[in-house]
Amino acid sequence: MKFRLLFLILLVSKIGYSQDGKLEDYKVANINNVISLFKQKNIDKISSIIDFPLRREYPIPSIKNSKEFRQRFNEIFDKVLIDKITNSKVKQWSEVGWRGIMLDNGILWIDSTEGKITAVTYQSNFEKKLKKDLIDKEKGNLHISLKIFESPTYKIKTKNYLIRVDKLSDYKYRYASWKIGEKESSKPDLTLKDGKWEFEGSGGNHVITFKNANYIYRVYRNIIGEDNAPDITIEIEKNGKIILTANGTLIVD
């Protein structure tokens, strides 16, 4: 399945490096093709080797297609990043198992077979400002009880609920939910704090757990799994028994 939100995988990317560090010839050719296209700054051809959608850090919208990529190219690929790519040597590219091949510590990723760009984790000054502006806008649209947080983590839609998870300044997480049809500017039906983040395996899958008296709420992020796996699984446990499981879709744009 596609790479999704590889920003998370950077935290565990040291697991699974190729043992001898030597890349096969066709993989080297794919790397050199990427370097060559950026040296030419051939945006049209670069767009042809992007695995869309190209995810940006939430709440920045993903790039859905080639047309949008050409319009937003300079927002992502500033001079600093282009120089890093064009001046890179093959030895700076490392294969990280099924995750693909990354440049340096993961500022850019390509897949191991076709050499398509699957993720760009570098963030330009433009995107840093854009992210801040979008977060400020989100805060302005939220209920007064939710306006204070460090960064938005997820906005999720299930069959019956709109849920948002935000990271607070103390490295804890907050959960808020509304019935479908209600606005985020209204008081949430439920707010939980002190959520804890835990990784599950080396693929980036993780769970954020919230406790509320004899209830436990778990938000599972399914990055690696079956092709039909939901983005999010919500699980509620009461007195040690699971009483609800619901699939959720990420709202990313």
Q: Chain-wide mean pLDDT for the chain? A: 89
pTM score: 0.79
Spatial separation of the C-alpha atoms in residues 170 and 149, rounded to whole Å: 10
Spatial separation of the C-alpha atoms in residues 13 and 22, rounded to whole Å: 17
Per-residue pLDDT for 202 more than 70? no
pLDDT in tens, 78-122: 999 999 999 999 999 999 887 899 999 899 999 999 999 999 999
The answer to whether the Cα torsion of 10, 15, 20, 26 is positive or negative is: negative
Confidence at residue 253, expressed as pLDDT on a 0 to 100 scale: 62
pLDDT in tens, 222-249: 876 666 789 999 999 999 999 999 999 9
What pLDDT band is residue 252 in, cutting at 50, 70 and 90?
Answer: confident
